[in-house]
Amino acid sequence: MIVEGKVLKFGDKIDTDIIIPARHLKYTDPQYLAQHAMEPLDPEFYKKASQGVILVAGKVFGMGSSREQAAIALKAAGVRAVIAESFARIFFRNAINNGLPVIILPDATKKINQDDYIKVNVETGEIVVNQNVVLKGKGITGMPLEILKSGGILSFLKSAKTTN
């Protein structure tokens, strides 16, 4: 599974109240949520991400709330994957459950720059930066990979149900 795109870079501790503020949580429609993704930090995020981007961030990306809308909003806004130095546990699971690849790469913010073009192998964690530098992140394997490949937990559950 390979994803590629231009880098949008953020710092440490991008929390769920930044990714999608609580006032938007009464809805689950991906298009609605996408328009409000990262709103407190950058109200133009939706436009910047719409061409398809890869987020690169520092420590504990997605810290805070269990709101699954955080993963839904980013994916619907055009985020193809998130590469971070570490992730909050709940966000990491929510991302996988919604088919959004999440790769751990120590020192990600030092090694990757804003506007770099990167290609990510989700399974091996290999990241090619600007077609020449190769970085090794932590790939997704096992059940999370199966869920991701299905497109998310819903499709995964449905296919599991049909095969039984």
Partner 1 sequence: MSQTLTEKILSRAAGKAVSPADVTEINVDIAAFHDLTGYHVIEVMEKAGMLKVFDKGKIVIAFDHLAPPPDVRSAEIQDQIRHFVKNLSIPNFHDINVGILHQILLEKYANPGYVIVAADSHTTTSGAVGAFAQGLGASDVAAAVITGKTWVVVPEPFKITLEGKPNKWINGKDVALKILGDFKADYFNGMSIEVFVKEPSAFPMDFRATVSNMGIEMNADALMFIPDSETVNYIKTMRGYEPQLVQPDSGAKYKDEYTIDLSKLEPLVAAPHSVDNVKAVGEVEGLEVDQVYIGSCTNGRLSDFEMAAKIMKGKRVKTRCIAIPASYDLFRKAMEAGYIDTLVQAGCVVTYGTCGPCLGGHFGVAGPGEVMVSTSSRNFKGRMGSPDSKVYLAGPAVAAATAVEGKITDPRRFS
Would you tell me which residues interact with partner 1 (CB under 8 A)? Answer: 12-13, 15-18, 21-23, 25-28, 39-41, 59-60, 63-69, 71, 86, 88-90, 93-94, 97-98, 142-143, 152-154, 157-158, 161
Our CB check for partner 1 shows the closer of 104 and 129 to be: 104
Residue among 9 and 94 whose Cβ is closer to partner 1 = 94
CB of 5 to partner 1, least distance (A): 24
Q: How far is CA 144 from CA 11, 41, 45, 50, 151, in A?
A: 26, 30, 28, 26, 11
Report the alpha-carbon distance of residue 34 to residue 38 in Å, rounded: 9
Say if CB 12 and CB 41 are below 8 A apart: no
Nearest to partner 1 of 5, 65 (CB atom): 65
Q: How far is the CB of 53 from partner 1 (least distance, A)?
A: 22
Query: Do 107 and 113 meet the contact criterion of CB atoms below 8 Å apart?
Result: no
Please say whether the beta carbons of 86 and 56 come within 8 A: no
Residue closer to partner 1 (CB basis): 7 or 90: 90
- Phi and psi at residue 13, in whole multiples of 5°? 55, 50
Nearest approach, Cβ of residue 29 and partner 1 (Å): 11
CA–CA separation, 101 and 99 (whole Å) = 6
Shortest distance in whole angstroms from residue 69 CB to partner 1: 8
User: What are φ and ψ of residue 54, in 5° steps?
Assistant: -120, 125
Rounded to a whole number of angstroms, the minimum distance from the CB of residue 134 to partner 1 is 26
Residue 128 vs 145, nearer CB to partner 1: 145
